[in-house]
């Protein structure tokens, strides 16, 4: 927690607007901010409020759908944001990627039924059509990409697609649905991103936040290595 003196100092600062993803990244992100000394309450996500100001930390949290975080940041509605690498790879937004936060670790994978047979013109269902298209294009494989918005694992089970390209975290969803992970495409962690103008205009604040978060991340990595 901050000392009263530090809180007062942050109180006098201009608000830094942070697009914060709701859902699975939310709690580890809040924990990271708290460990970095920002007085952020645990229950950001518990109310239906979408804009939550934390005056002691001079932060304003914009509670966003994870896929929309980079949009708020790109257009300057938020100065910075926390977003999964999966979303950044898919959407290719014009933002600065400042830090690998090392939270919400998972991976992007190609998944299918265990008895799959090679086929021409594979049908691939995914929430990530750009990632999937690029992956198969680089391998010289022609595929038909089918965009879905969730429960992607259904697609091979009901004959909509031969494969899926999706995020795997614990692997429980694929195991429980009798699917297998065929190939890992890339690792995913959450990233801190910044609007290009905000990064210049609020550089000192953003840099200070980065330094404090980086210290926590480095500390965590050191503990993991030991």
> What are the φ/ψ torsions at residue 187 (nearest 5 degrees)?
-85, 150
Least distance from ligand PRP to the Cβ atom of residue 195, Å: 26
Least distance from ligand PRP to the Cβ atom of residue 170, Å: 3
Separation CA 173–CA 76 (nearest Å): 36
DSSP 131-200: HHHHHHHHTT--EEEEE-SS-TTHHHHTTS-SEEEEEESSSHHHHHTT-EEEEEEEEE-EEEEE-HHHHH
By beta-carbon proximity to ligand PRP, the closer residue of 28 and 171 is: 171
Q: What is the dihedral of CA 73, 74, 76, 77, to 10 degrees?
A: -50
By beta-carbon proximity to ligand PRP, the closer residue of 37 and 171 is: 171
By beta-carbon proximity to ligand PRP, the closer residue of 5 and 149 is: 149
Least distance from ligand PRP to the Cβ atom of residue 57, Å: 28
By beta-carbon proximity to ligand PRP, the closer residue of 169 and 215 is: 169
Which residues here bind ligand PRP, judged by CB under 6 A? Answer: 150-153, 166-173
Determine what percent of the chain falls in helix, strand and coil, rounding each to the nearest 5: 40, 30, 35
- The residue at minimum Cβ distance from ligand PRP is 150
In the beta sheet, which residues pair with residue 188?
A: 106
Least distance from ligand PRP to the Cβ atom of residue 163, Å: 14
> What are the φ/ψ torsions at residue 69 (nearest 5 degrees)?
-55, -50
By beta-carbon proximity to ligand PRP, the closer residue of 90 and 153 is: 153
Least distance from ligand PRP to the Cβ atom of residue 108, Å: 10
């Amino acid at each position: 927690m901050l000392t009263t003196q530090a809180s007062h100092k942050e109180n006098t600062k201009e608000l830094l607007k942070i697009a914060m993803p709701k859902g699975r990244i939310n709690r580890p992100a809040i924990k990271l901010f708290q460990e970095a000394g920002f007085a952020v309450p645990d229950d950001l996500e518990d109310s239906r409020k979408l804009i939550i100001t934390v005056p002691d930390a001079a932060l304003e949290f914009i509670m966003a759908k994870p896929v929309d975080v980079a949009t708020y940041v790109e257009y300057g509605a938020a100065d910075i944001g926390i977003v999964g690498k999966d979303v950044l790879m898919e959407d290719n937004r014009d933002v600065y990627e400042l830090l690998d936060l090392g939270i919400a670790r998972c991976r992007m994978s190609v998944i299918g039924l265990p008895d799959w047979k090679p086929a021409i013109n594979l049908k691939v269902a995914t929430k990530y059509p750009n990632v999937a298209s690029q992956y198969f294009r680089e391998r010289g494989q022609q595929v038909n990409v089918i965009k879905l918005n969730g429960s992607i694992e259904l697609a091979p089970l009901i004959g909509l697609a031969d494969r899926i390209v999706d995020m795997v975290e614990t692997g429980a969803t694929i195991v429980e649905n009798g699917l297998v992970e065929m190939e890992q495409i890339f690792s995913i962690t959450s990233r801190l991103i910044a609007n290009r103008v905000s990064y210049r205009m609020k550089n000192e604040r953003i840099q200070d936040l980065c330094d404090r978060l980086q210290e926590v991340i480095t500390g965590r990595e050191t503990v993991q290595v030991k």
